[in-house]
Structure 1
Amino acid sequence: MAGSTPPPVQGNAPAPLNATDPRRLGNYQIVGRLGQGGMGTVFLGRGADGVAVAIKVIKPELAAAPEFRSRFRREAESARRVRRFTTAAVLDADPDGPSPYLVTEYVEGPTLSKMVARRGPMRPADLEQLALSVATALSAIHAAGIVHRDLTPANVLLSPVGPKVIDFGLARDFEGSGEFSRTTKHAIGTPGYMAPEQILDSPVTSAADVFAWGAITVFAATGRPPFGEGRIEALLYRILYEPANITGVPAELAGLVDAALRKEPERRPTAEALRMALMSGTSLPADPGSAAQPTPPEGRGGKDGGRRWSSPRSLARAWTGVAES
C-alpha cells in the first residue's frame, strides 16, 4: 500500500553449523554460522553468562604461521582498547590455541550492503548518521594504533542504536608485500573499496580507511560503488587513474567524500578531521597538496615503481592471481 512502512530488513541471523564446525571454543558454546571471509569463519556463540557473541576463527593455513600469530596477538590486544562508540567491541581472543579466534560483541541488524540492496540509497538524514558514525569508529580505531584495511559495506552493521563497524583488529597485512597480498584469494582489501596504495603494494596507513569511508558513503548515497562494477582488473585500473563518480551524493557530504577519495594518501583528511567537519558542519582545512602538481599514484613507490599500466589487461598481468579470461 502506498505510503506504508516497509518491512524490516532481516539482520545477521545465523545459519546451521556444518558437521565439521566446532561446538565449543574455550568458554564459548558455538550455536550457528554468521559468515565466512578471507581470514576465517565467523560463528555465533554464547558465553558462560548466556550473552551472544560473534567469534571469528582464523583459517588453519594462517594459524600455522608463527609470524601471523604474533601479529594477531598484538593487534587483538590493541583492538580491545578501542573505544566502543560505534564499533563492535572486542571482548576476548585466543591467539595461542590450536584454532586462534577473536570474540566480539554480537551486533543485531543487517549490513549496509544488505540494506541498500533491499531498500535502495539511504535517506539524507540516515546517510549523515552513517557517515558520522563510521568516521567516529575509524577515529577510535586509528587512535588505538589500528588500520582496518578492509572497510566495506559488508563490514558496517546497522544496529538498532546506529551503525557499527566490525571486523577490525586482524593482521590482514601479514606478508603484506609479495604473493600473499597480490592474489585474489588473499587480497588485502575488497575490489571497489581499496585505496590506490593497496593496489600498488605501497605502505598502507590509516589514510586507506579514509578512502574506504568515502567509497562506502558513495555506495550508501547512490546504491553503487564510486568506481563502478565489473572485472577486478578494470576496477583496480579505475581506482588508480580515473576520478570517482560521486554524482548523487548530497551537497553537504560531497566535498568531504571528494577529499577522502583523493588518489594521494597524504592529501586525504584524517578520520578525526572528517568527524569534526561532520559534527560542526564546517569545511575541511585546505588541501595540503592543492598548490602542487599531484604525484601520479603509480609513482608513489611499491613494487611497480613509476610504471603506468596502459590498460586494465596490463594491470591484470602485473597482479599475480588476477584472471584475464
Structure 2
Amino acid sequence: MNRQPPPDPGVPPHRIGVYTPVRRLGEGGMGIVHLARDPAGRQVALKVMRPQLAAQEEFRRRFRKEAEAAQKVARFCTAAVLDVGMEDGRAYLVTEYVEGPDLATVIEEQGPVTGSNLDALAVGVATALSAIHRAGVVHRDLKPSNILLSPVGPRVIDFGIAQLAEAASGDTGVVIGTPSYMSPEQVNGERVTAAADIFAWGCVVAYAATGRPPFGGGAAPSVLYRVAHHAPHLDGLDERLRPLVERALDKNPARRPTAQQLIDRLLGQEEVAAEAATKAVSDSWTPARPRVPTRIASGGGSPVDGSPVAGSRGRWTVPVLAAVTALAVAAAVLSFVLRPDAGGREPSGNGLPVGRDLRIDGIPLHVEIASLTRKGQGVTLQWSVRNAGTDDWNPWTAFGSQSATAPFYYNSTAGVMLVDPSSGRKYGPTTDGDTCSCSPTTGTLAPGDTESYYSVFTGVPESAEELGVQIPSVGLFANVPISS
C-alpha cells in the first residue's frame, strides 16, 4: 500500500489546529516558524516541528513533557507558551508573539547597557529565571541572543530547548550550551541544576554592562577552560552590581544565590513578588532603538522571503521557539538538533554523495556524505564540511561526544552515529581507551575551505544494506547505502 508523504512544514498550511498561518518567519533544525492568528484574530507564533521528528516516539514523549512544563512558566519577563498539539503528523507549539531586537544585537550596534536599563535588565532576567525555575524547568542556554528587548522590558526565550535538542539528537550525550555562558558544571559534564542559569545570569549582566563576556571569546576550548578554571574579568562592571555578579559566578553551584535572592538583592527588599518585580522593570525601561529595522525573533535561521529574523542572529540557537516563543529551538553553539536532507549535489548512482546546507554558530556550512563502505568486519564513513560563509569557523566542539558510555571527546567526530533503520540500534565509532577510530577536529576552517572526516564502526550486521548517519549539529541522513 502506498503511503502519502508527510506534510512539508515549510509550506504554510491553511490551518494548524485552530491557528491560521499568515507568513513564514524563519526556520531551524527542528521546524518552521510562522506568524499566525488565533481564532480571535490575535497574532501568535506558530512553530511546526518537522515530520521526521514528530514520527519519533521518544521525541513526541519529550515534546509533550517539555511543552507542558513550559506552559506552567508564569508570564513574568518571558515569552509565554500558549498551546501545543499534534495534527496530521505535525507537532506544533504556539507562543506569544514578541517584537524586539535581542540583547546581543543591541550591544553590538549601540555598546553596553547603562543606567536604569542595566538595572532593569538584571532584574528582568532574574525575574524570568525565577518564573522558569518555579515551574521546574532549567533553561540551560541563557545568553544575550535569548533575551529580547521588548518595548516593556527584557523577555527571556528558549527555555526547554536543551531537553528537546537532546531528544532530537538521539540522546548522544552531547553537551548543550554556548561556551561563553556555560557553567563550570556544564563544562565538566556534571549534573545541571537551576544554579547553572544563575551562572549564566552573571555572564549576561557582565556582558551587558561591559560589552564583553566575562570569560572572553575565541576558540571554544579556550573559553571552556577559562569558565572552568579562571576568575571572571569584570573590569568596568558597575560597582553596585559587581558583588552580586561575583556571587553568581562562583565555581561552586551551591554557593550561588537563587533567582529570588537575586531579585531581592537588586530591589533591596525581601521576597519581592514576581508581579512587583515585573512592574519595576517596565516602569524604568526605555525601549531599545536599533540602527537597523527591528527584527522579529522567530527561532533563528535565515530570513525568509526578505523578512528579517532576529532572536538568534542568523542561526537557530537551539537550541522550541526563539524570540517569538518561549521554547525556540535554536542551533546555538553546541546546540545539537536534527535537520532534514536538503541541498547539496545530485547523488550518484548509489545515492551518494548527498549533502545538506545549514548554519552552525551562525556560519553557513555545506555537509556532504561521500561514502559508507564495508571493509572486512567494519564500516567506514567518509564525509566532509565546507565553510560557505565569510568568517572562519572552528569545528572543535561540533561533532564530539560526551556521555556515560563514551569518553569525553570534544575535539573529534566521536559523536557521529550509525542508525539501523530496522531496529533503531545505534553504533558509535570504535574506541580503544582514549583513542577513537575517527577524525580529529583541530584547526579553523577558513571561508571556502573543505575539511574531510572519517569514522570507523564495528559490530554493524553484515545483512545491513543501508543505515542512517546521525551527525551532531547536523542531524540524520536517512537510508545511506553501504557499498562494498
Calculate the TM-score normalised by the size of structure 2: 0.52
Q: 1:80: which partner in 2?
A: 71
| Offset, 1:155 | 1.2
What's the offset of the Cα at 1:135? 0.2
**Cα distance between partner residues in 1 of 2:231 and 2:27:** 32
Match of 2:45 in 1: 54
Partner of 1:130: 121
Alignment correspondent of 2:294: none
Q: Which amino acid aligns with 2:442?
A: E
* Whole-angstrom distance in 1 between the partners of 2:222 and 2:205: 21
2:198 paired residue number:
210
Contact 2:17 2:87 in 1 (8 A): no
For residue 104 of structure 1, report the CA deviation from its aligned partner: 0.9
- Confirm whether residue 147 of structure 1 aligns to residue 135 of structure 2: no
- Distance verdict in 2 for CA 1:109–1:119, change over 3 Å: same
Larger Rg: 2
Gaps of 5+ in 1: 1-17, 283-301
1:20 to 2, 10, 20: 10
Tell me if the contact between 2:74 and 2:131 (Cα under 8 Å) persists in the aligned partners.
Answer: yes
Identity %: 49
2:96 is aligned to 105
Where in structure 2 are the equivalents of 1:217-296 lying within 5 Å?
217-280=205-268
The SS at the match of 2:149 is: strand
Contact persistence 1:34–1:44 (CA under 8 A): yes
Residues 265-317 of structure 1 show CA distances to partners (whole Å, capped at 9, x for unaligned) of 222111111111111179xxxxxxxxxxxxxxxxxxx969xx9x9xxxx9635
2:477 corresponding residue in structure 1: none
Q: How much has 1:67 moved relative to structure 2?
A: 2.0
CA distance in 1, matches of 2:9, 2:128: 36
Distance 1:111 1:227, change over 3 A: same
Cα pair distance change 1:55/1:191, threshold 3 Å: farther
**Change in 2 beyond 3 A, CA 1:222/1:79:** same
Displacement of 1:177 in angstroms is 11
Return the letter of the residue paired with 2:211: G
Q: Does the 8 A contact of 1:175 with 1:181 survive in 2?
A: no
Aligned length: 279
> Aligned residue for 2:83?
92
TM-align CA RMSD:
3.1
SS in 1 for 2:231: coil
Q: Deviations over 1:139-168 (max 9, x none)?
A: 011001111111111111111111111122
8 Å contact kept, 1:56–1:101: yes
- In structure 2, what is the Cα distance between the partners aligned to 1:159 and 1:268? 28
Question: Partners in 2 of 1:320 and 1:19 — Cα distance?
Answer: 28
Structure 2 counterpart of 1:21, one-letter code: V
Structure 1 window deviating more from structure 2 (223-232 vs 140-149): it is 223-232
**Partners of 2:9 and 2:32 within 8 A in 1:** no
| Residue 238 of structure 1, CA deviation | 1.6
Change (3 A) 1:235 1:34: farther
* Structure 2 counterpart of 1:324, from 442, 449, 453: 442
Partners in 1 of 2:225 and 2:112 — Cα distance? 26
C-alpha distance in structure 1 between counterparts of 2:130 and 2:254, whole Å: 16
State how far apart, in whole Å, the 1-side matches of 2:108 and 2:60 are. 36
Following superposition, the deviation at residue 58 of structure 1 comes to: 3.1
* Structure-1 residue corresponding to 2:57: 66
Q: Compare 138-147 and 61-70 and name the one that shifted more.
A: 61-70
Do the aligned partners of residues 279 and 233 (structure 1) sit closer, same or farther apart at CA in structure 2, a change above 3 Å counting? same
2:142 and 2:125 map into 1 onto residues whose CA distance is: 10
Q: Which amino acid aligns with 1:316?
A: N
* 1:120–1:136 distance in 2 versus 1, CA, 3 Å: same
Call closer, same or farther: CA 1:233–1:55 in 2, change over 3 Å.
farther
Give the one of 26, 32, 53 matched to 2:23: 32
Structure 1 CA distance for aligned equivalents of residues 102 and 211 of structure 2: 14
User: How far apart, in 2, do the equivalents of 1:181 and 1:62 lie?
Assistant: 18
Secondary structure of the equivalent of 2:22? strand
Q: CA deviation at 1:22?
A: 3.0
The one-letter amino acid paired with 2:262 is: L
1:276–1:40 Cα change, 3 Å: farther
The TM-score normalised by the length of structure 1 is 0.76
- Is contact 1:72–1:95 with CA below 8 Å preserved after alignment? no
**Structure 2 vs 1, CA of residues 44 and 204 (structure 1 numbering), >3 Å: closer, same or farther?**
same
SS at match of 2:108: helix
Q: Is the 8 A contact 2:204 2:213 kept in 1?
A: yes
